[in-house]
Structure 1
Amino acid sequence: MHGTALSGWLLVAVCAATGAYCVLRLRSDCPHARSSAGGEAVMGFGMAAMAVPAAFATPPPWIFAGYAGVFGATALRAGWLVHARVAGGGHHLHHAIGSLAMVYMALTMGAPGGHPAHEGHSGAAGGIPLLTGALLVYYVGYVLTAGIRLLPTAGPAGTVAAPGWGARPELTLACRLSMGMAMLAMLLAL
């Protein structure tokens, strides 16, 4: 990704931490928490891998086709879950959009001149400006909506037993919010 090494490493750390929490969610007793945790873990770790600064490790040209294949498969799975009307269908649709956005970024980064490590990079934005702009608008809306949903609200009086770590809705939403912000950063750096 374009940008400073520090911002790249921070993006790697946030995405890897999010992926690790999603792996924990796979062990949850709550089926709703498990339904999207695997795909989100793939997204988190994949985003972390794509965000590694090029100054640290110049990826081989074939790696971007690998990223596109993995995220394409993730998009197909999410699309199938939306089509099958599995619980959490709205989030599965978001996950399909995110996976397709990752395919788009991988293909753009893999194109000649699409990665900052390539010689003769002009500094111009990569990809299709209209598609990049549409994805930016979508993710700004998603981040704002997720941020609002994360704000505390007055709940019912009384104490309620806290669910296990894998089923904590506020942690899941915080992870989704951080992945949305990471996606914004990656799209802006494209």
Structure 2
Amino acid sequence: MHGPVLVSWLLAVLTAAAGGYCLTRLSRSPCATGTAAHRPHSHESDAAEALMGFGMAAMAVSGSAVPAAVWAWVFGAPAVVFVLAAASAPARRAHRLHHAIGGLAMAYMALAMGSAAGQGHGHHHAAGAGAPLLTGALLLYFGGYSLWAGSRLLSTSAGGLRTATAGLPRACRLSMGIGMFAMLLTM
């Protein structure tokens, strides 16, 4: 990620915390929360969100130290799996497509920033990396997603203890949506 160092580290802390929370949710037993039919989908979502959170944190602080092709594989391969899963089964299609868009956006950012660095751009002069229309479309998507996730989070805060515990995964999704938006802004 190109931009102020403090912003990169704050983004890394935020997304690593979200990834860590998703990882703890992944390690819970299927009987601990939800029905048995719901937990496989939750595990899929928790795994994708943990990968995205930790990946965003790592990319924010060491993006240029790792070759762009490595980042593209780390995020591109799961994105393709989510696209195929969404195409083959209608259950949770929108959620899987969201994870696919997130993975493809991360791969896109890595490749765009890697090509900008390869062209001799300095660390703080990578503005303009990537295709402006695609970057703009992704900014609109993740900006809209963050607003939607934030409104859902606000609706749970009006409830009792049960809805408050449901708010933590939503807060993690919101923080990762904001993180994606911030990373796209720095391109």
> Alignment partner for residue 35 of structure 1, among 1, 25, 44?
44
Instruction: Report the structure, 1 or 2, having the larger helix content.
Output: 2
Instruction: Compare 75-84 and 27-36 and name the one that shifted more.
Output: 27-36
Partner of 1:46: 55
Query: Is the CA contact (8 Å cut-off) linking 1:9 and 1:53 kept in structure 2?
Result: no
Identity %, equivalent residues: 51
Residues 12-91 of structure 1 correspond to what in structure 2 (within 5 A)?
12-28=12-28, 29=30, 30=34, 31=39, 32-52=41-61, 59-60=65-66, 63-85=67-89, 87-91=91-95
Asked if the contact 1:78/1:92 (under 8 Å) is kept, the reply is: yes
Q: CA deviation at 1:121?
A: 6.8
- How many pairs are equivalent? 176
Cα shift at 1:92? 1.0
Report the AA paired with residue 129 of structure 1.
Answer: P
In the TM superposition, residue 177 of structure 1 has moved relative to its aligned partner by 0.3
> C-alpha distance in 2, partners of 1:120/1:37?
33
Q: What 5-or-longer segments of structure 1 have no aligned partner?
A: none
SS at 1:133 equivalent: helix
With structure 2 as the length reference, what TM-score do the two structures score?
A: 0.83
Structure 1 counterpart SS, 2:18: helix
The alpha carbon displacement at 1:100 in A equals: 0.5
The two structures, once aligned, show a CA RMSD in angstroms of 2.6
Give 1:53 shift: 6.0
Structure 2 CA distance for aligned equivalents of residues 133 and 35 of structure 1: 29
Describe the superposition over 1:82-130 as per-residue Cα deviations: whole angstroms up to 9, x where unpaired: 1232643211110100100001001011114379x95497554210000
8 Å CA contact retained: 2:2, 2:126: no
Mapping of 1:82-101 within 5 angstroms?
82-85=86-89, 87-101=91-105
Say which is worse superposed, 23-32 or 63-72, in terms of deviation. 23-32
In the alignment, the residues of structure 2 paired with residue 130 and residue 108 of structure 1 have an alpha-carbon distance, to the nearest angstrom, of 13
Aligned to 1:171: 168
- Give the alignment's TM-score, normalised by structure 1: 0.82
Closer/same/farther in 2, CA of residues 124 and 3 from structure 1, 3 Å limit: closer
* Contact 2:76-2:107 within 8 A present in 1 as well: yes
The alpha-carbon deviation at position 40 of structure 1 amounts to 1.0
SS at match of 1:182: helix
Does 2:184 match 1:187? yes
Return the match for 1:142 from 114, 139, 145.
Answer: 145
Flag as ranges the 4+ runs of structure 1 deviating above 6 A. Answer: none
